[in-house]
Structure 1
């Protein structure tokens, strides 16, 4: 291990701080929290390390979106209040740094421009909780506030996110509209027909008809919900803050409702075939049911990655007490930060 090799080197002073500078800074950029934890255990003063631009481990963690490093050293700032006011040579505080566009490698970990922008907004909101309130609107030497830096850096990403959401919503709206048309027509022309005198369907006592009626109703209401969600996305103003929770939640609800409506439609279709052929040609039920499982499996599997990403990105934070529940090996009380030196 690198730390073991460094410990074998000859040095002067009370620790190996100079030898750990390059490894700990690189680890901060690469989100290698175990490496940072190990180095701080062996040399607490390594937290003072800075790169050629004067950025230390905390600033690099924000610039490179290293959430594991950020969570690891959270206790230091929370207890010592030392990086709430830290600034670089251009008077950029860490909220200015959070306003910069993340490296492409970190952005590409999220699916679609909208989720990429959501992650950037989550970083900004997290860092905003840490710094002093007066620093939220504080200018740098270029007379830019953190909000101005974020808007300038993410202008293209906002446009790409808007286009991605519109394209997705338009495609899904067409599918939802088709399902509404199909299941509404199926509800009017019930399988087996109706009594000419009373208008009551002939197969109301059949269990398969009850399954058809329930699944058809679920499909209709779910597809209607999905269509409304997608229309609300298309008519949104697409402001920066809307990408944080509002738009992703609408998209998640819309896709889940569309998935439910498609599955319910297939169940209603299979129930209709059972009513028609169940008594006269029961052998046809096996290939019919087997064939219906194919589109149902596709309905479930294909949108599942997007649903998973939307849910995790919107409801499972990379920050917060749950992520910080596992304590670091180093003792935060032994860490001393000397910013600006």
Structure 2
């Protein structure tokens, strides 16, 4: 494109345009490397007067396409240039009606043109939330609200997802030129899109004006209630169920009910709303025989399991329901190493840990046949072992198995214990050295610590003692041999817990030692050292995940519960 014309088009300089046309009447035929004409540039920058002057000279540029197949009207609609759109709409009124035989001809109607993505100007307007432009285009041709683009989306569906209430009202107010007869939209109907966008007002409009949409599904068989369950939109769940209660019992192509979807995504609000209206939907199974409990376990959503435990009627039967492989939710949690979910289930008194699957395995034996267990799996294994004598007194359960890992597993096991012993030794050495030297030194006359009267020093003393004692216990316990096949799980777990406690206590003693010795002279390095030290546990949680604290918390809670039960027993005596 001529540089002078390019600058004039981007600035809206009509006078320069007229001078250029006097010199070269064909200058408007020039294009940019992306095939944009001067009219494209004027539409893009919202220069109405310049665009009008171009159309007066060469009106056919209104249907010129750039490299993406966009007409000038596409660009004006996309960027919300209402004045330019009004100009183009006025010009388009005199355009001949669209003729399928000449659809690619030079006089195709600008309002009906589609770019390479199949989008009309109305698609671009609603996708970019240009409500005023979209309404202007709909005034010209209301039927365009149902045109499908290359992705099978209509402007109505996009407007519903984007929350354009006035646009949706205008489209559904006009009688449909062609009723929607396809029952499997790839992306769902406008009702699905309204739920995805969490637009309650649009949802209500569509249910009132187009109630037939409520029975339509997407290409996977999901109705609008499935979408509401996925998005954890309790209000949408309630509205849809009030309109059509049996939606809760409609399954998609994998036989998953909306409750299955809510459980899979951890949508606790949607679970509550579904079970409040349809409590028996918890009994539904999918293709694998999974209930909502199974679905929440498979996805590892412990919050969904807790919600289901509180809300499901006849939870005991549903909790211990087996799938096609004979697995209960507890079986799946153990086999998939979803420790958090397994412990939540196990702590509920209605869960039966003695159920055998088709292979004759309990949740405990499934853990054993997996091979080498990490610390979290060992913790779950001990909890299952503790429950079996209570639940399985008169039931046959698989015998305790020896650990069946790989050929190198025993060496790996001893190597891990060796690392733990080395770490405990280092912590004990450092703690002992810190006690001998004492932060700030000793008084030469009295032989006592100089800062012994300060609160920070007392915290240092306590934390350093915890570090020293915890690491010493680990070392003393591991003086006794730990055989790989003996399953001395408590010894290993206690060693890990005490080593972690020693490390944390050592961090506290370090921070207090820095505070005692450095703070009296300069403060900002002390604050920085304390901040860095305090962030250490947070970094560990971020790196290893929330389960790194869940298992210790479960352990602490179990000890607390046992302590409370013993106190209650003594009181009753």
- What band does the TM-score fall into relative to the shorter chain? 0.5 to 0.7
Give, in angstroms, the shift of residue 148 of structure 1.
Answer: 0.8
User: Shift in Å at residue 27 of structure 1?
Assistant: 2.4
Quote the residue 1:228 is aligned against.
472
Q: For residue 250 of structure 1, what is the aligned residue in structure 2?
A: 498
Matches within 5 A, 1:168-207: 170-171=422-423, 173-186=425-438, 190-191=441-442, 193-194=444-445, 200-201=446-447
Is this contact kept in 1: 2:315–2:350, CA < 8 A?
A: no
The change in CA–CA distance for 1:35 and 1:244 in structure 2 (over 3 A counts) is farther
Cα separation, partners in 2 of 1:82 and 1:145, compared to 1, 3 Å: closer
1:315 to 529, 548, 553: 553
- TM-score, L = length of structure 2: 0.39
Task: Using CA pairs under 8 Å that are at least 6 residues apart, name the structure with larger relative contact order, 1 or 2.
Answer: 1
Give the 3 Å change call, closer, same or farther, for CA 89–79 of structure 1 in structure 2. Answer: closer
Question: Hey, what's the Cα distance between the residues in 2 that align with 1:300 and 1:221?
Answer: 19
CA RMSD of superposed structures (Å)? 4.6
Structure 1 residues 35-184: aligned runs within 5 Å: 35-41=270-276, 43-75=278-310, 79=314, 81-102=316-337, 119=340, 122-123=343-344, 125-126=346-347, 129-132=349-352, 136-153=353-370, 155-157=372-374, 167=419, 170-171=422-423, 173-184=425-436
- Could you give the per-residue CA deviations for residues 160-189 of structure 1, whole angstroms, max 9, x where no partner exists? 9877787577446524522421331348x9
Conserved in 1, the CA contact under 8 Å of 2:424 and 2:499? no
CA distance in 2, matches of 1:18, 1:261: 60
Cα separation, partners in 2 of 1:261 and 1:158, compared to 1, 3 Å: closer
TM-superposition CA deviations, 1:275-322 (whole Å, max 9, x none) = xxxxxxxxxx533x44444333322222345489655543369x99xx
Aligned CA distance change for structure 1 residues 131 and 120 (closer, same or farther; 3 Å): closer
SS at match of 2:521: helix
Partner residue of 1:261 out of 489, 506, 509: 509
Cα gap change, 1:42 to 1:178, in 2 (>3 Å): same
State the alpha-carbon separation in 2 of the partners of residues 158 and 209 from structure 1.
39
Q: Cα offset for 1:71?
A: 1.7
Instruction: Name the SS of the counterpart of 1:15 in structure 2.
Output: helix
* Cα contact 1:215–1:265 (8 A) shared by 2: no
CA deviations over 1:85-111 (Å, ceiling 9, x no partner): 422223323332232114xxxx6xxxx
Q: 1:28: how far off?
A: 1.5
| C-alpha distance 297-165 of structure 1, shift in aligned 2 (>3 A) | farther
Separation (CA, whole Å) in 1 of partners of 2:434 and 2:245: 77
2:261 to 7, 12, 26: 26
1:42, distance to aligned residue in structure 2 (A): 5.0
Report the equivalent of 1:299.
533
Secondary structure, aligned partner of 2:511: helix
Structure 1 gap segments, 5+ residues each? 108-116, 195-199, 272-284, 321-341
Deviation at 1:14, TM superposition (A): 6.3
**Closer/same/farther in 2, CA of residues 72 and 232 from structure 1, 3 Å limit:** farther
The residue that corresponds to 1:323 in the other structure is none
Residues 420 and 496 of structure 2 are in contact (CA less than 8 Å); yes or no, is this contact kept in structure 1? no
Native 8 Å contact 1:180 1:223 kept in 2: no
Between the aligned partners of 2:359 and 2:246, the Cα distance in structure 1 is 39
Mapped partners of 1:253, 1:234: distance in 2: 17
Which residue of structure 1 lines up, in the alignment, with residue 563 of structure 2?
none
CA distance in 1, matches of 2:471, 2:549: 20
Which structure 2 residue ranges, 5 or more long, are not aligned?
Answer: 1-194, 217-243, 379-412, 559-573
